[in-house]
Amino acid sequence: MLLPTGGGKSLCYQLPSLMRDGITLVISPLIALMKDQVDGLNANGIPASYLNSSLSAQEIQIVQEQAVSGKLKLLYLAPERLGTLGFESFLLQLNVRLIAIDEAHCVSEWGHDFRPDYRRLVQLRTLFPHVNIIALTATATTRVRQDIVRYLAMPQPRVFLSSFNRSNLFYCVQPKQQAFQQLVTLLSRHKNESVIIYCFSRQDTEGLVSDLHTQGFKALAYHAGLEKQQRTRAQEAFIRDEVNIIVATIAFGMGIDKPDVRLIVHMDLPKTIEGYYQETGRAGRDGLPSECVLFYTYADKRKQDYFIAQIQDELEQAQAQKKLSDMIGYCESVACRRQYVLRYFGEEWGESFCGTCDVCQAPSVELQDATILSQKILSGVLRTGERFGAGYVCDVLRGSARDRVVENKHNQLSVYGIAKDASRQEIMLCIDSLLRYGFLEKQLGEYPTLRVSDKGKFVLKQREPILLPKMETLAVLKRTKKEKETDYDFDLFTRLRQLRKSLADEQGVPPFVVFGDRSLQEMSRVFPQDTHSFSMIFGVGETKLKQYGEIFVNCIVQYVQEKGITVTTPKKKVVLLKKERVGSTVQKTKELVEKKYSLEKIMKERKLARSTIVQHLEQLVQTGEFIDIEHLKPEFKRFQKIKHAFLQTHSNALTPVRALLGEEYSYDELRLVRLFL
């Protein structure tokens, strides 16, 4: 089963385990992840435990006795457990009803995180020939999926593929110019929110933590070079919201199941798309908007090349180089980044504009006339023979007296020193923009060089104006976030977070085990005034209602009285007497819908594409405000056929539905029908 990170893979084996007798074995390679999931299950009244190297011999014996006696519903195991003496005998004493293999991509050498111990898992098929096995992953290409079936001995398995799309994540690649200053700006915008920052080396990790401390940020390092006790302490501080920033090495997986990480930053180039997807997937697991920012310079490729060169197997080395080239392609793409990632995993996405990556938001960036500096750069690349990289071209344009420039006699060129008045940063940022907008091209190789594209030669020859983003907008994120503009009461949310933290500390569990941010935000939006209305909040089950219901309701009621807020409580849902605002362009579409205009007439009136109008309708419906769109429903037979396809796929995702129906049905029509379902 392939589901995106945070897409509910755990539920696929946790729910069946509650509906049948016996125990479910869960194979997971990450000790930290086991602990987080077991804590969460126990908090919801589900008996679960784990066996891994973090436990003492006495603790292992206690857990095994609980499992044999039938007191556990789920038992998490590290894959290397199967190789320990006498462990098979223990397993055969259990009433095993389901085996779940998490992170199943680890079984494949073509995966980004191959682990030889995963090849031993085929023993489970021998030990339990009649027990169902489910293999789960979030990052598997077609080749990796084939290996999973092969090495886990799963003949003719049922394969379930969900979309890789994480619609709540914003993807952004920034030029690696003054990266630390950009990082400080980012962290200031995400103040008191959980952040993970990835660095290339342990030394970089420690250095960045030190630099962040000087800026007043609370941050801890997490890498393989630390003592186990230090890593555990750092992880506990992070998941308990005592420290909101963790700086980790890319090579060392953290296995954090924290749902409220709002920002993932890569200070250096990841080596694979799979690894990058998994690392960014740790953001926004609760479904709330989160950011993924990567600082990129082609020079970082050399760091990865060094380690790839150490690989002795030629096929494995070529494979690693191909994956790195794909990662560079992502960074240098001038098309939608979301679409690039989805296509990498073999998913044809029905949209060409996601609206939530820096490339798709680029049209909204303010442009300026950069003709003069751009002409100097293009001329400099041509005059130096298109045989040098950005740094060298910059040296020539600024009139550097470096030995290499003099030896090549480039100090005698007409372009030598013609951009003395521009700083090195301005020139490098302009080069980056010229690459993004197709005026320059990068020739890949051991030493990347620049060349002028046909487009660049044309505008240079015709002396056409060149418009590029303003320099100041390049040095910071293209995406802007309005401070504290939310559809919930932020002050109440802050108070509920404090209450959650104090309760979590008393119980010795992470705050998100009590309630996630999504639950607290909904409480701060609808102000439940009694335990009945509180029970309807997202994430509130029977166990949590009994344990926390009165405590949180009392806090909310007290806040409402202090602020003089008026709340009405209908039979089914608590509603705050306040309408969620929509943008002016969406409001204009709404006015035409209320006039019963057809879809085609609205498109003509607004001069907008069908996909944009459907997107407006989605936003209007999501506000929770009643709007009559019955007249926009597709013809009855087509509607019923699309509806049936959604029911067949058991999903809201568009891609599986279109795969069933074929190209006769557009993605816009599927999105429109989905609104009625």
pLDDT tens figures, 232-288? 888 888 988 999 999 998 645 555 678 899 999 999 999 899 889 888 988 988 888
The pLDDT assigned to 378 comes to 96
The residue among 183 and 256 whose pLDDT is bigger is: 183
Local confidence band at 471 (pLDDT 50, 70, 90 cut-offs): low
> Does 437 score more than 80 pLDDT?
no
> Does 395 score more than 90 pLDDT?
yes
The pLDDT assigned to 425 comes to 84
Same structural domain, 319 and 448:
no
Residue in the block written with tokens 């609104």: 675
Same structural domain, 145 and 21:
yes
Same structural domain, 450 and 500:
no
592: in domain:
no
Per-residue exposure over 302-318, b if at least 16 CB sit within 10 Å of its own CB, e if not: eebeeebeeeeeeeeee
How would you write 426-456 as a 3-class SS string? Answer: HHHHHHHHHHHCCCEEEECCCCCEEEECHHH
The residue among 256 and 96 whose pLDDT is bigger is: 96
Same structural domain, 137 and 230:
no
Structural contact between residues 247 and 234, judged by C-beta atoms closer than 8 angstroms: no
The whole-angstrom separation of Cα 83 and Cα 465 is: 67
Q: How many CB atoms lie within 10 A of CB 420?
A: 9
Please give the full DSSP string across 209-220, using - where no structure is assigned: HHHHHHTT--EE
Q: Give per-residue pLDDT as tens, 330-386.
A: 887 777 888 888 888 877 766 666 778 888 776 545 668 899 999 999 999 999 999
Q: For residue 525, what are the contacts with CB-CB under 8 A and spacing of at least 6?
A: 487, 488, 489, 576
Q: Which domain holds residue 411?
A: 367-469
Q: Give per-residue pLDDT as tens, 400-422.
A: 999 999 999 999 999 999 999 99
- In degrees rounded to 5, what are phi and psi of residue 640? -65, -35
Same structural domain, 326 and 255:
yes
Structural contact between residues 191 and 203, judged by C-beta atoms closer than 8 angstroms: no
Same structural domain, 527 and 659:
no
The whole-angstrom separation of Cα 399 and Cα 44 is: 67
Token code pair at residue 103: 């992170």
Same structural domain, 451 and 423:
yes
The pTM for the full model equals 0.58
The pLDDT assigned to 626 comes to 64
The whole-angstrom separation of Cα 657 and Cα 646 is: 6
How many domains does the structure of the chain reveal? 5
The whole-angstrom separation of Cα 439 and Cα 462 is: 14
Token code pair at residue 634: 């597709």
Q: For residue 411, what are the contacts with CB-CB under 8 A and spacing of at least 6?
A: 396, 399, 401, 405
Same structural domain, 380 and 502:
no
Give the CATH number of the domain where residue 446 resides.
1.10.10.10
31: in domain:
yes
555: in domain:
yes
Q: Give per-residue pLDDT as tens, 527-552.
A: 999 888 898 888 888 888 989 999 99
Q: Side chain identity at 57, as an amino acid letter?
A: A
> What percent of the chain is modeled with pLDDT above 70?
87
Give the CATH number of the domain where residue 22 resides.
3.40.50.300
Same structural domain, 202 and 332:
yes
The H or E element that residue 602 is part of is helix 599-606
Three-state secondary-structure class, residue 100:
strand
| CA-to-CA dists, residue 65 to 70, 89, 499, 534, angstroms | 9, 13, 37, 38
- In degrees rounded to 5, what are phi and psi of residue 133? -120, 135
- In degrees rounded to 5, what are phi and psi of residue 262? -100, -15
588: in domain:
no
Q: H helices within 398-541, ranges in order?
A: 403-407, 424-436, 454-462, 471-474, 490-507, 511-514, 517-526, 531-534
45: in domain:
yes
